[in-house]
């Protein structure tokens, strides 16, 4: 049996093809995809390639759906609505033992890729650790946001948030907007979202941030921000992020820069201002469960990030729209 799936042939070349429907092995789950959202990582792969996304290959990694078939021993039943992420740690290596599952040495060895398709096979260890039942009160579209929100939850777990803090989020893409929503949920009252895309800044304002250009972000109270979160993945923005944080403050370098790039920082400022530089990567199982609680808890509404539904045959058009800054996250409904 065949299905339709989007295949990334090479940077800038996305095609719709017929491929074989995968069969689940022992412990594995075959999911009929109901919603698959676009993300910044996929856009990077579309524009310039990505070391974790082979080409040519099936594309997409955010998803939710309904169990269509299960392998022997899989902890799910046919017809069950599910939500999940695309990876899981081994739980036996050094880093897993140190409570750093996000740095697991094999976490990227086996991944769920190919969510922009009618069906998706979830490997056994990912199904066991990071695939969950989707509650009825959560839409498939919102449930598909679990993976990027888990990345934000991993970063938040490294911070000490206080309501009286001032925060600057640089970059109004989907991750920056999720940071705004998470900071607001934790009671942070003074949040500035810096960027240039007017529509995305308006969404950030709806989520509780004050929109500004980076040039106008300023230094609150003359001190600087308690927290600066960089979400652009631009080396130049990484470097200037330190100009906005107060002495003793924290800079979160979240956005991933292109491979091989280098950033330069004022060592005197880092040392004598006692800056905390945080570089969160990926997520562990705790962050995934935290993100799921956020989604189903009703305190975080991420629906404004969804820019509309697209069919699979609109794949290339969709990523060209994202390239041009049109929309935030689109939902493929295979």
d(CA 61, CA 45): 12
Label each residue of 10-75 as H, E or C. ECCEEEEEEEECCCCCCCCEEEEEEEEECCHHHHHHHHHCECCECCCEECCCCEEEEEEEECCCCC
Residue 226, SS3 per DSSP: strand
> Could you tell me the residue ranges of all domains in the chain?
2-150+283-332, 159-278
Domains 2-150+283-332 and 159-278 share a fold: no
For the stretch 218-275, pLDDT in tens is: 877 789 999 999 999 999 999 999 999 999 999 999 999 988 899 999 999 999 999 9
The matching CATH number, chosen from 3.40.50.720, 3.20.20.370, 3.20.20.10, 3.40.50.300, for 159-278 is 3.40.50.720
For the stretch 181-226, pLDDT in tens is: 999 999 999 999 999 999 999 999 999 999 999 999 887 778 999 9
For the stretch 73-112, pLDDT in tens is: 999 999 999 999 999 999 999 999 999 999 999 999 989 9
Among 132, 138, 7, 285, which residue's Cα sits nearest to residue 122?
132
For the stretch 152-190, pLDDT in tens is: 999 999 999 999 999 999 999 999 999 999 999 999 999
Res 52: pLDDT: 87
Question: Which pLDDT band, with edges at 50, 70 and 90, does 325 fall under?
Answer: very high
pTM of the shown model: 0.96
d(CA 232, CA 218): 18
pLDDT exceeds cutoff 80 at 25: yes
d(CA 148, CA 286): 14
d(CA 62, CA 306): 13
d(CA 251, CA 158): 11
pLDDT exceeds cutoff 90 at 51: no
**Residue 279 φ then ψ, to 5°:** -125, 75
Fold of the domain built from segment(s) 2-150+283-332: Quinone Oxidoreductase; Chain A, domain 1 (3.90.180)
Question: Which pLDDT band, with edges at 50, 70 and 90, does 298 fall under?
Answer: confident
End-to-end CA distance of the chain: 16
Cis peptide upstream of residue 56 (ω within 30 degrees of 0):
yes
């Amino acid at each position: 049996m065949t299905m339709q799936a989007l295949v990334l042939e090479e940077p800038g070349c996305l095609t719709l093809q017929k491929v074989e429907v995968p069969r689940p092995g022992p412990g594995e789950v075959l999911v009929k995809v109901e919603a698959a959202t676009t993300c910044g990582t996929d856009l990077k792969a579309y524009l310039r390639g990505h070391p974790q996304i082979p080409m040519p290959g099936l594309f997409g990694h955010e998803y939710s759906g309904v169990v269509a078939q299960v392998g022997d021993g899989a902890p799910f039943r046919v017809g069950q609505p599910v939500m999940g992420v695309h990876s899981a740690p081994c739980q036996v290596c050094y880093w897993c033992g140190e409570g750093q599952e996000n740095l697991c040495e094999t976490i990227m060895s086996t991944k769920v890729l190919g969510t922009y398709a009618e069906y998706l096979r979830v490997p056994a260890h990912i199904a066991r650790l990071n695939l969950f039942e989707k509650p009825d009160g959560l839409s498939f579209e919102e449930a598909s946001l679990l993976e990027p929100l888990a990345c934000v939850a991993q970063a938040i777990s490294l911070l000490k948030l206080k309501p009286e803090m001032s925060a600057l989020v640089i970059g109004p893409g989907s991750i920056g907007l999720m940071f705004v929503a998470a900071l607001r949920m934790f009671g942070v009252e003074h949040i500035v979202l810096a960027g240039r895309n007017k529509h995305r800044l308006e969404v950030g304002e709806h989520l509780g941030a004050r929109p500004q250009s980076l040039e106008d972000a300023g230094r609150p109270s003359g001190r600087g921000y308690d927290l600066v979160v960089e979400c652009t993945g631009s080396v130049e923005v990484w470097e200037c992020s330190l100009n906005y944080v107060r002495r003793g403050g924290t800079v979160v370098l979240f956005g991933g820069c292109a491979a091989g790039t280098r950033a330069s920082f004022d060592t005197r400022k880092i040392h004598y201002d006692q800056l905390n530089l945080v570089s969160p990567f990926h997520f562990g199982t705790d962050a995934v469960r935290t993100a799921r609680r956020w989604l189903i808890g009703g305190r975080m509404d991420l629906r404004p990030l969804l820019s509309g539904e697209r069919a699979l045959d609109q794949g290339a058009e969709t990523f060209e729209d994202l390239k041009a800054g049109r929309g935030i996250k689109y939902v493929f409904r295979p």
